[in-house]
Chains A and B, each alone.
Chain A
Amino acid sequence: TGTGPRRRFHAAGFLQRRLSGGERREVQREILAVLGLPGRPRPRTPAASRAPAAAAPLFMLELYRAVAGEEEEEEEVSRPVLTGFSTQSPQPGSAVSRADTVVSLVNMVEQDRDIFSPRPYWKEFRFDLTQVPAGESVTAAEFRIYKARGVTRHPNNTLHVSIYEIAAEHSNRESDLFLLDVQDLRAGTEGWLVFDVTAASNHWLVDRKYNLGLRLYVETDDGHSIDPGSAGLLGRRGPRSKQPFMVTFFRASPSPARVSR
Chain B
Amino acid sequence: AAKPPRRRQPKKTNDLPHPNKLPGIFDDVHAADGRQVCRRHELYVSFQDLGWLDWVIAPQGYSAYYCEGECAFPLDSCMNATNHAILQSLVHLMKPEAVPKACCAPTKLSATSVLYYDSNNNVILKKHRNMVVKSCGCH
Contact = CB atoms under 8 A, between A and B. Distances in A.
Interface of A: 12, 24, 27-28, 31, 34-36, 40-45, 47, 50-51, 56-57, 60-61, 63-64, 67-68, 71, 74, 99-106, 128, 130-131, 133
B119 A101 contact: no
B117 interface: yes
A40 to B, nearest CB: 7
Interface in B91-120: 110-120
B6 interface: no
Contacts of A34: 128
Instruction: Tell me whether chain B's interface is mostly helix, strand or loop, or mixed.
Output: strand
Contact of A56 (B59, B112, B123, B126): B123
A102 B112 contact: no
Contacts of B58: 61, 64, 68
Nearest to A28: B50
B57 A64 contact: yes
A43 B115 contact: no
Contacts of B117: 41, 43, 50, 57
B49 to A, nearest CB: 9
17 contacts: A31-B45, A35-B114, A40-B52, A41-B55, A43-B54, A56-B123, A60-B115, A64-B125, A67-B113, A68-B58, A68-B113, A71-B111, A100-B129, A101-B125, A102-B125, A103-B125, A104-B122
B123 A41 contact: no
A102 B123 CA distance: 8
B126 A100 contact: yes
A35 B52 CA distance: 13
Contacts of B118: 41, 43, 131
Interface residues of B, number: 30
Contacts of B45: 27, 31
Contacts of A60: 57, 115, 123, 125
Interface string B46-65: 00001011110111000000
B33 to A, nearest CB: 22
A57 B125 contact: no
Interface in B9-61: 42, 45, 50, 52-55, 57-59
A35 B55 CA distance: 13
Interface in B67-105: none
